[in-house]
Amino acid sequence: MTQKSKQVGSFREAVQDIPDGATIAFGGFAMPGVPFNLIQALLEHGARRLTLIGNTTGGAQQPRMPDMGMLVENGQVKKVVCAFTASTRPTDVLPFTKYYESGEVDAELVPQGTLAERLRAAGAGIPAFYTPTAVGTELAEGRETRVIDGREYLLEYALPLDYAFIRATRADTFGNLQFHRSQRNFAPVMATAARVTIAEVDEDILPAGAIDPDQVHTPGIFVHRLVKVPPPPNGLWPTRRQERRR
Amino acid sequence: MSGSANGLTRQQMADRIAFEFQDGWIVNLGVGIPTMCSNTDIGDRDITYHSENGVIGYGPIAPAGEEDLNLVNAGGQNVTLRPGAAVVHHADSFGIIRGGRIDVTVMGAYEVACNGDFANWKITGQKGGGIGGAMDLAACAKRVFIIMEQITRSGAPRLVAQCALPVTARRVVKLVATNYGLFEPTGDGFRLREIAPGITLDEVRATVGCKLTVPDNLPQVRLANQ
């Protein structure tokens, strides 16, 4: 029996079935792991009323690469769920902020560890969990808390996804993935939380079995489509960031 | 004396906090000045630096031209790895944090209150903010140390009786380094542990927004490893 390869020929093809109203998460923390090419394809695809999930809406750094904020600027977004909807430095203004302040786009601000755990929970069949994070803060106001062994915890719900867009270094045709260094970040938990995971991959897609099973970071059962990132200028790759001025 | 002196430099504030790190500690450094703690010479103490994105055991910033563009610290800077480093995914990284394995988290702040509350994610009048990993770290690390300027750009104290801004976590700050000195929240005020060279006690008193306790023999801020 031969396995069908999950590789698709283009980023456009990989995102063509994304419907209006979909919930999509994007891997990435700073440059590493951001699926620039899939974001670019989604910008061109034009699906609307999307709910986007990721660490930050992005856009504070130069050079600017495709980010969630660009989908917002393109009028495709209803809501974002992020650990940053604004910068903590008054001098850095995220492009997203003005859309949020005007009420054009909704946002749910979530502590980064809570975001990761809500995704992990969604992928692991756990509907909700208690965490000490954010207890006593504005985020916990009016929400359910519980004292366990003398410490107060906040109830957080799982965050299931329609789609996860992630970037990996290596894949085989079955979708087994390896990440390089901090490229991994949110990708493994997003893949488990999603109905459909699409990975853009740095290296040529390998035959199934070419990655040692002990060395697989995300198993192919969580991965549905693979696209090889072409070399620049046709593919988008992480760049050196410019140091910020003080 | 005039109030023209600015006291410690950014690196000196970071150095003073880094001198507190003990051998074997797992340390998380926040974006900005706290990152500079990893530049400090603290002798042969073995510190493991943890970053929210799952990098455990990172080393100095990568030299220009030798960056691995897939390897960054929490501030997005291209770092190097030390022997013994490991990489985990985000949920495991925050499991390390929530599980209480981080000996100290060093962060910047807008305000610290004398009961140990602090604020660093949302500024006045802003909708939304930037929480990042700060709330998880502040709630779960064994110690929270803060590095910040003594006063705001408009001259208001950052060491206050009560935070006016929305807090990141309550009653967690153990130590604060500012350009004016080293402070400990005591519950009803701050204790000045060390004063910055070139800063007078009057200048400190005038820039703390609540009760200040000063020991009889007030040392200057230690600027070298001991």
What values do phi and psi take at B33, rounded to 5?
-55, -40
Task: Walk across the sheet containing B104-107 and list its strands.
Answer: B79-87, B55-61, B48-50, B26-29, B104-107, B144-147, B173-178, B181-185, B189-195, B211-213
**Contact call for A185 and B53, based on CB within 8 A:** yes
Mean pLDDT of successive 10-residue segments in chain B (226 residues)? 69 97 97 92 95 96 95 94 97 98 98 98 89 98 98 96 98 98 98 97 98 97 88
CATH topology of domain B10-213: Glutaconate Coenzyme A-transferase (3.40.1080)
Domain residue limits, chain B: 10-213
Mutation pick from B35, B90, B152 vs chain A, by most beta carbons of A within 10 Å, is B90
Q: Residue A189 belongs to a domain with what CATH number?
A: 3.40.1080.10
* Global pTM value: 0.96
Q: Give pLDDT tens digits for B177-216.
A: 999 999 999 999 999 999 999 999 999 999 999 999 999 9
Q: Which residues of B are catalytic?
A: 52
Is A234 within a domain?
A: no
Is A150 within a domain?
A: no
**Contact call for B136 and A169, based on CB within 8 A:** no
Q: Give pLDDT tens digits for B109-135.
A: 999 999 999 999 998 888 899 999 999
Tell me the chain A residues in contact with residue B93 when contact means C-beta distances shorter than 8 Å: 113, 116
Mutation pick from A67, A88, A138 vs chain B, by most beta carbons of B within 10 Å, is A88
- SS3 label, residue B115: coil
For chain A, what is the domain count? Answer: 1
Is A81 within a domain?
A: yes
- DSSP annotation of B56 reads E
Is A240 within a domain?
A: no
Domain range for residue A215? 11-128+159-228
